[in-house]
Amino acid sequence: MVSILVLHGPNLNLLGKREPGVYGSVTLEEINQSLYQEADSLGFALVASQSNHEGVLVDLIQDAMGKHSGILINPGAYTHTSVAIRDAIAGVNLPTVEVHLSNIHKREEFRHHSYIAPVAIGQICGFGADSYRLGLQALVHYLRQNM
């Protein structure tokens, strides 16, 4: 079965547990559950991981080669800082969709720039937990047309 890797970056393990005003009350476990269900109904396998560490995320992206056909990633704050994660995505050459819970473009200036966007097939942001589901659907649609 075709498999998709879902990666959550730093602090997203706190979702639903801290600052519900900014990022909502849904937990990361609940987001993953709904992604597993959605992937299953679309006929795709899915593996989800979260890390607070840039190098671990780089390792997970490199390890995706030969195991997964696409990546759905919320790089968290590394979106705005990480050339290493961008280079890893470019290096593995797997179709990648960038997602964010919040609309990063209407927040602080420093969140407007993404190092990841130029190496992603697209970006979905601003729809809360739904950004992930929409991102997964977009990635599946892309894979069906391009595999």
Is residue 23 annotated as part of the catalytic site, yes or no? Answer: yes
Between 3 and 122, CB nearer to ligand CA2: 122
| Region of 48-56, 72-80, 88-96, 116-124 interacting with ligand CA2 (CB under 6 A) | 72-80
Shortest Cβ distance from residue 101 to ligand CA2 (Å)?
A: 4
Q: What is the side-by-side order of every strand in the sheet holding 3-8? A: 45-50, 3-8, 70-74, 96-100, 122-125
117 binding ligand CA2? (CB under 6 A) = no
- Residue type (1 letter), 52: N
Q: How far apart are alpha carbons 26 and 138 in whole angstroms?
A: 22
Options 4, 6, 23, 95; binder of ligand CA2; rule CB under 6 A:
23
Residue 52 DSSP class: S
Residue 6 pairs in a beta bridge with 48, 72
Residue nearer to ligand CA2 on the CB measure, 32 or 79: 79
Q: Could you say which of 7, 71, 104, 143 contacts ligand CA2 (CB under 6 A)? A: 104
The pair of structure tokens assigned to 36 is 């597993």
**Residue 132 a catalytic site member:** no
Contact characters 26-55, ligand CA2, x per CB under 6 A: ------------------------------
Q: Does 19 bind ligand CA2 (CB under 6 A)?
A: yes
Residue linked to tokens 């560490």: 53
Helices 28-42, 130-146: inter-axial angle, 10-degree rounding = 30
Nearest to 51 by CA among 69, 25, 74: 74
Among the options 8, 23, 68, 132, which is catalytic? Answer: 23
Question: Which residues participate in catalysis according to the annotation?
Answer: 23, 100
